[in-house]
Amino acid sequence: MGCSRLDETVQHQLLDQARRAREAAYAPYSSFKVGAAVLTAAGEIFSGCNIENASLGATICAERVAIFTAVAAGCPDLTALAVIADTPDPIAPCGLCRQVLAEFSPNCRVLMATTAGRIRLANLKELLPLAFRFPPAESGEAG
């Protein structure tokens, strides 16, 4: 399945899982709860929530929890990532999460949503042009 296909039923399922995962968010420092879910190429869904820490740098975003859960299950090929938060407008994944997603699925679709039902769709390539890759591409091969 390519990244161009993300029908409404699947969008619903992804957002539903992200919404449920958000309920488990551990965010005593920011009180900002985030849920995420990824769709694998095989059609499976893995979810995650943000998990904060008293040592603030040890905090991890919902998106990376979902991505790492999929990778740890042996499913690194991701077709779509959904993220949901209680904000007026949909939030976009942070730069670190974009780079992590690009490691596994550079063409991934990103579905951003609010708990009230506002939705925005983008492609990871739009959110993170020129993602870092190692070894770096030869001159002229970037992108």
Q: Are 113 and 18 in contact (CB under 8 A)?
A: yes
Could you give the string, one character per residue 51-70, with x where binding to ligand THU holds by CB under 6 A and - elsewhere?
-x------x-xxx-------
Can you tell me which of 1, 24, 27, 41 binds ligand THU, judged by CB under 6 A? 27
39 binds ligand THU (CB under 6 A): no
Query: How many Cβ atoms are within 10 Å of 11's Cβ, its own excluded?
Result: 18
Closer residue to ligand THU, CB minimum distance, 9 or 21? 21
Can you tell me which of 93, 100, 110, 113 binds ligand THU, judged by CB under 6 A? 93
**Cα separation values, 1 from 36, 42, 81, 85, 89, Å:** 21, 8, 14, 27, 29
Report d(CA 25, CA 33) in Å as an integer.
5
Q: Are 93 and 127 in contact (CB under 8 A)?
A: yes
Look at residue 69 and give its three-state secondary structure: helix
128 binds ligand THU (CB under 6 A): no
For ligand THU, which stretch binds (CB under 6 A), given 26-34, 74-82, 99-107, 127-135?
A: 26-34
Question: Where along the sequence are the contacts to ligand THU (CB under 6 A)?
Answer: 27, 30, 32, 34, 50, 52, 59, 61-63, 83, 91, 93-94, 97
